């Protein structure tokens, strides 16, 4: 049930997949709950074997990146007590990419955030931790203490990592590469709101709804018109508890040790790489609108910020059309 709820809180939803004739172009959709979320893959003109292969990829990487699976690379690192751990090339690649985003975001994005994530435990608690606990946990956070050399990782005792902000994006890219390698020309991959589109929707763009923050699931703040791209949203409304009329959500500012406090409710990144989009959506939410927009520009991706009042801010490569009930956002040509 909790997993289902997680899905219901998912940030990006596909509102209209396609207006095509199902009988004429064989479409296959499968859904599985994995990685603490709902994974839905839709492929056109392919077969069950390809579909199974796509889900096998999700399972393979979940086993490596999960912090709750005992023998995953992440668990080995987190239980290493200062010893050097040799990880798979994919884990090393993901850590290396994350460290790059940490540097570029001046530490706003930090996969060593786990001591603080565990302390806040927003899914299971209803009262904020005390300042002393936050100071203690914060002392065990800092991306500069992650040492990565080739496939070897070393963390100081007491430190731990969490790839939750980036792994789904990385896995989505792997599924996309696999589907393309089998000759798939049209597909939608949705890993708990990380949406990647292969091809186009009968020569038009697909429609992807950006969830309206704090509204009912499925209510869109805007509709993205996209082909051949990935869209990833991070939102403060996704997981949170309320205490004394304040919201304490799941994205933590490593500098303060508290859930980020700025006027931004969600950030959506549009890019070619879902791993990059995933890390940047989290980073930009922590950074806020001005610095977040700068980082998005620097990385060559498009960004949509929605503030707590519902105002929408788009990066320079996007167009927004306010005609109609819900604004439509598309890439400039």
Please tell me whether residue 117 binds ligand AMP under the rule CB under 6 A: yes
Give the Cα separation of 113 and 138 in Å (integer): 8
Residue 129 neighbours by CB distance under 10 Å: 17
End-to-end CA distance of the chain, in Å?
43
Query: Contacts with ligand AMP in 134-163 (CB under 6 A)?
Result: 162
d(CA 55, CA 290): 38
Residue 286 lies near ligand AMP (rule: CB under 6 A): yes
H or E element: which one contains 61? Answer: helix 48-65
Q: Near Mg ion by CB under 5 A, which window of 32-40, 162-170, 286-294, 319-327?
A: 162-170
Please tell me whether residue 252 binds ligand AMP under the rule CB under 6 A.
Answer: yes
Q: How far is CA 134 from CA 116, 128, 288, in A?
A: 7, 10, 22
Using the rule CB under 6 A, give the single segment among 30-38, 277-285, 290-298, 317-325 that binds ligand AMP.
277-285
Query: Which of 112, 165, 207, 260 touches Mg ion by CB under 5 A?
Result: 165
Among 278, 284, 306, 314, binds ligand AMP (CB under 6 A): 278
| Residue 16, phi then psi, degrees to nearest 5 | -145, 115
The nearer residue to ligand AMP, 46 or 72, going by C-beta atoms, is: 72
Question: 164 vs 292, which CB is nearer to ligand AMP?
Answer: 164
**Binding positions for ligand AMP, 29-58, rule CB under 6 A:** none
Q: How deeply is 55 buried, as exposed, middle or buried, from its count of CB atoms within 10 A (0-12, 13-18, 19+)?
A: middle
- Do 253 and 261 contact (CB within 8 A), yes or no? yes
Q: Where in 55-114 is the site for ligand AMP (CB under 6 A)?
A: 109-111, 113
CB of 122 to ligand AMP, least distance (A): 8
Instruction: Please answer whether residues 295 and 105 qualify as being in contact, where contact means their C-beta atoms are separated by less than 8 angstroms.
Output: yes
Q: Which is nearer to ligand AMP, 94 or 184 (CB)?
A: 94
Applying CB under 5 A, the span of 34-42, 78-86, 203-211, 280-288 interacting with Mg ion comes to: 280-288
Residue 173 contacts which entry, ligand AMP, Mg ion, none (Cβ below 5-8 A, type-dependent): none
Q: How far is CA 261 from CA 249, 254, 287, 288, in A?
A: 10, 12, 10, 9
Shorter beta-carbon distance to ligand AMP: residue 275 or 329: 275
| Contact between 282 and Mg ion per CB under 5 A | yes
Residue 191 contacts ligand AMP per CB under 6 A: no
- Return the one option of ligand AMP, Mg ion, none that residue 254 interacts with (CB less than 5 to 8 A, by type): ligand AMP
Interstrand relation of 152-154 and 194-198 (parallel, antiparallel or unpaired): unpaired
Residue 231, phi then psi, degrees to nearest 5: -130, 130
H-only helix segments in the chain: 2-8, 48-65, 73-78, 89-104, 114-120, 131-138, 167-181, 274-287, 289-299
Q: Is the CA virtual torsion 208, 214, 219, 221 positive or negative?
A: negative
- List the single partner that 162 binds among Mg ion, ligand AMP, none, CB under 5 to 8 Å by kind: ligand AMP
Q: Give the footprint of Mg ion on this chain (CB under 5 A).
A: 165, 278, 281-282
Point out which residues bind ligand AMP (CB under 6 A): 109-111, 113, 117, 162, 164-165, 234, 250-252, 254, 278, 281-282, 286
């Amino acid at each position: 049930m909790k997993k289902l709820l997680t899905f219901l809180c998912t940030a990006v939803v596909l509102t209209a997949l396609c207006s095509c004739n199902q009988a004429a172009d064989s479409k296959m959709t499968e859904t599985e709950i994995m990685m603490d979320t709902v994974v839905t893959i839709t492929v056109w003109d392919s077969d069950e074997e390809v579909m199974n292969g796509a889900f096998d990829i999700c399972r393979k990487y979940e086993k490596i990146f999960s912090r709750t699976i005992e023998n995953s690379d992440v668990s080995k690192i987190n239980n290493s007590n200062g010893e050097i751990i040799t990880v798979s090339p994919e884990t090393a690649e993901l850590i290396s990419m994350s460290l790059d985003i940490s540097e570029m975001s001046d530490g706003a994005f930090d996969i060593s955030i786990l001591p603080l994530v565990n302390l806040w435990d927003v899914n299971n608690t209803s009262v904020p931790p005390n300042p002393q606990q936050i100071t203690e946990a914060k002392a065990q956070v800092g991306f500069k203490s992650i040492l990565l050399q080739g496939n070897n990782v070393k963390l100081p005792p007491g430190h731990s990592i969490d790839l939750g902000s980036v792994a789904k994006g990385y896995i989505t890219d792997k599924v996309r590469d696999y589907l393309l390698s089998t000759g798939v020309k049209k597909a939608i991959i949705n890993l708990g709101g990380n949406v990647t589109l292969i091809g186009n929707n009968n020569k038009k763009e697909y429609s992807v709804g950006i969830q309206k923050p704090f509204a009912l699931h499925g209510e869109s703040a805007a509709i993205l018109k996209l082909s051949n791209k990935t869209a990833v949203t991070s939102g403060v409304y996704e997981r949170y508890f309320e205490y004394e009329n304040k919201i304490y959500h799941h994205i933590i500012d490593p500098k303060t040790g508290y859930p980020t406090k700025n006027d931004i409710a969600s950030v959506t990144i549009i890019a070619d790489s879902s791993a990059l989009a995933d890390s940047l959506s989290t980073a930009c939410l922590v950074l806020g609108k001005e610095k977040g927009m700068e980082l998005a520009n620097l990385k060559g991706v498009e960004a949509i910020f929605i503030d707590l009042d519902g105002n929408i801010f788009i990066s320079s490569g996007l167009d927004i059309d306010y005609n109609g009930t819900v604004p439509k956002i598309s890439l400039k040509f």
